[in-house]
Structure 1
Amino acid sequence: MSTPGTSGAESPDARPPGAQIDWGVAAGIGRRIARPGPLTTRYTLEAARSELASAAVAAEAPVREVTGLADGLPVPTASVLDRGQWIDAAARSMSSMLGGGQPGSPGGLNIAGRLGGVQAGGLLALLSGAILGQYDPFSPDPRTGDDGVLMLVTPNIIAVERSLKVVPSDFRLWVCLHEVTHRVQFSANPWLRGYMLDNIALISADNGESGGEMVARISAALKSEKPREKGVLGAMQLLQTPEQYDAFTRLMMLGTLLEGHADHVMDAVGPGHVPTVERIRAAFDQRRKRPQNPLQKLLRSLIGMDAKLAQYIRGKAFTDEVVATVGMERFNAIWTGPDTMPLPEEIDEPRRWIDRVL
């Protein structure tokens, strides 16, 4: 997959070593402390792995038909993983994006990098029990070497389908419909990968600001009457420079579009291909909304799960309204380039995007 470079923004690898994370340490720690998956027989596990691999291929044609994207492109296979394998893959991807010690590489970074690896390993272990599937545009497919790989985490899918008491084969295809939509989004629009890397580089680059300058900037912002976001987004707005926060906002808008579009496609495809889709959607939405204890709420906030849920909801509402108004073919103008991405004020008022772009 050819992508634009990241010229114009300092590469993440240009940061001082102390700012990097030893992802080899992170992967090792993550694998050691990750919780085991649900109890299952080897036969059941292998049957689930085989069915997920087939479902990831079967989902491609209806997703392409509904989206109008990726027509004629090859249909890649998915990587069906356990939790430890997902941790290794995630660590490699994060190293590729942010720099740092590669998993499995000799040597290592300084003590700060290794300590960062320990912290990152704890986060990877936590996430390894929550991720059902993921399209990673930054890691090469182990079979073809092309950029981008679709990963499905078998034990987590089994755990959720048991918890929801849904038909396993239907649930597995339903999950694949969402993740395959992400694969189609990036396959049909190679510029998305470079766009993400450009903005990640801006966020992670050393901006040369001293501690005193940062404190002065934050103090001035707190005294200013200029409106700020609430919660975690408000904190990010204070801690980052204006240029970094703009890049962060662009990534948030892209994530909102990608997740909402995938949810829209899942619901459009589901009724014709997943017999129990209404039962699955109702059970899954109920699971998303179930109450958590205070510790769970804190963890969800820290790792951005609540922000992720908001992305699904806002992005799907945006996609639903635009497609209902102008149709999917004209909606696809959104994939033209960075200038046609929705702006923050347009996500909740899709008519403004229609007026600006179409």
Structure 2
Amino acid sequence: MNSSMVDWDLAVSLGSRLAGEGPDVTRAEAERAVAELRAGADRSTGLVREFTGLVAAERTAPVLIVDRPGWVQANADGFATILAPVIEKLAAKKGPPSGLSLAIGSRVTGAEVGALLGFLAGKVLGQFDPFHDPSGRLLLVAPNIVHVERELDVDPTDFRLWVCLHEETHRVQFTAVPWMRDHLFGEMQAIAETMEPSRFLDDGLKRITEALKGGREGGQSLLDIIGTPEQKEIVDRVTGVMSLLEGHADVVMDGVGPQVIPSVERIRRRFNERRKGVGTLDKILRRLLGLDAKMAQYRDGAVFVRGVVDKVGMDDFNAVWERPENLPSKAEITDHAAWMARVL
């Protein structure tokens, strides 16, 4: 992406400074946390496979234990990747890149993006980054996990495995279902294909940045700027997918957790109270696309998965992963019978 549009080096530098280092830990505590997270991720692979029936290819999508600056760098890379097709399409429609660079570069700065990443870097426990070549990567943010387990006053070993179960489910979703990554990226490109540069550039990317930050009350999302019926149809499809992925991970956590995590009920109860404030890359995407429904996606997605599995079992539910056409729509997420009638 043209550096005059967003100064990514500045964004990473500022974001890392704003994120801070995290809780005070001794070297021994830090080493133990890293070792337990790595072991938890490895252990979770088999637990997720046994519960879901999804088999991820070996040696794909590495697991990285990172600090806050590492998370900032990874998400700056991801953010640039997500925006790239949008910017490229706008450049092609608008004309010479120099003019577009001036129009956008004056509105979005590395400082704005850096401030956003710095804010989120202190909150994210882990995430799967599907857009990292070639098959994505799983990030576990060790200082944040240690901070939250202390804040919630829960057993550290149990909590670390609990986090790993959720995040490893996302890694399995994308590596066992290899078309998912290209499907989501294709939806982003589809939005870019339908953009009107004049409408988009009236207020520029600054309005997107405000939406990402939570902006003013009633602040506008990307759809408020470029929303057309065709684009909203795409966003409805993305809503269904994100709800499915998050809800499925929650069902796995709750299904596997009691078997291997003695204090799982205490962890779940305390974590639910905190969860509203946690930010991840998928929440950035949801805000950007006007999908920031807080707990709704976890709740609705989990209800959908449980509803189908209770009726037909996990094996038949897994038809959802067979091809893009089998993914639930936004409407079907809250009406699992309709999805079953269409797909099964």
Q: TM-score normalised to the size of structure 1? A: 0.77
Q: Structure 1 residues 212 and 42, CA, compared in 2 at 3 Å: closer, same or farther?
A: closer
2:91 matched residue in structure 1: none
- SS of the equivalent of 1:152 reads strand
- SS of the equivalent of 1:59 reads helix
Q: In structure 1, what is the Cα distance between the partners aligned to 2:227 and 2:334?
A: 25
- SS of the equivalent of 2:25 reads coil
1:137 matched residue in structure 2: 130
Aligned residue identity for 1:94: F
1:191 matched residue in structure 2: 179
Would you say the 8 A contact 1:318–1:350 is kept in 2?
yes
Within the candidate set 94, 99, 105, 1:113 is matched to 105
Deviations 1:187-245 (A, max 9, x none): 11111111111111223457235349999xxxxxxxxxxxxxxx779983674122222
Pairs within 5 Å for 1:152-231: 152-205=140-193, 207-208=195-196, 210-211=198-199
Would you say the 8 A contact 2:56–2:175 is kept in 1?
no
Worse-superposed segment, 31-40 or 20-29: 20-29
1:42 matched residue in structure 2: 27
In structure 1, runs of 5+ residues without a counterpart are 1-12, 102-108, 141-145, 216-230, 291-298
- SS of the equivalent of 2:131 reads strand
Q: In structure 2, what is the Cα distance between the partners aligned to 1:38 and 1:330?
A: 45
- SS of the equivalent of 1:50 reads helix
Q: In structure 1, what is the Cα distance between the partners aligned to 2:104 and 2:202?
A: 22
- CA drift of 1:271 comes to 0.9
2:9 matched residue in structure 1: 24
- SS of the equivalent of 1:135 reads strand
Worse-superposed segment, 58-67 or 22-31: 22-31
Worse-superposed segment, 115-124 or 147-156: 115-124
Give every structure 1 segment of 4 or more consecutive aligned residues whose post-TM-superposition deviation is greater than 6 Å.
Answer: 212-215, 231-235, 301-305
Q: Structure 1 residues 233 and 65, CA, compared in 2 at 3 Å: closer, same or farther?
A: farther
Would you say the 8 A contact 1:59–1:180 is kept in 2?
yes
2:324 matched residue in structure 1: 338
Q: In structure 2, what is the Cα distance between the partners aligned to 1:59 and 1:97?
A: 28
Q: TM-score normalised to the size of structure 2? A: 0.80
Deviations 1:250-304 (A, max 9, x none): 22211110000000011111111111111111111122369xxxxxxxx9x9688
Compute the RMSD of aligned alpha carbons: 3.1
Q: Structure 1 residues 341 and 206, CA, compared in 2 at 3 Å: closer, same or farther?
A: closer
Q: In structure 2, what is the Cα distance between the partners aligned to 1:204 and 1:28?
A: 29
1:55 matched residue in structure 2: 40
Q: In structure 2, what is the Cα distance between the partners aligned to 1:286 and 1:233?
A: 27
Q: In structure 1, what is the Cα distance between the partners aligned to 2:194 and 2:60?
A: 39
- CA drift of 1:137 comes to 1.2
Q: Structure 1 residues 332 and 280, CA, compared in 2 at 3 Å: closer, same or farther?
A: same
1:70 matched residue in structure 2: 55
Q: In structure 1, what is the Cα distance between the partners aligned to 2:305 and 2:219?
A: 25
Q: Structure 1 residues 20 and 311, CA, compared in 2 at 3 Å: closer, same or farther?
A: farther
Q: In structure 2, what is the Cα distance between the partners aligned to 1:256 and 1:348?
A: 10
Would you say the 8 A contact 1:27–1:91 is kept in 2?
yes
Q: Structure 1 residues 50 and 235, CA, compared in 2 at 3 Å: closer, same or farther?
A: closer
- SS of the equivalent of 1:126 reads helix
Pairs within 5 Å for 1:234-313: 236=223, 239-288=226-275, 307-313=293-299
Would you say the 8 A contact 2:174–2:180 is kept in 1?
yes
Aligned residue identity for 1:80: I
Worse-superposed segment, 25-34 or 77-86: 25-34
Deviations 1:162-210 (A, max 9, x none): 0111100000000000000001111111111111111112234572353
Aligned residue identity for 2:228: T
Q: In structure 1, what is the Cα distance between the partners aligned to 2:239 and 2:177?
A: 18
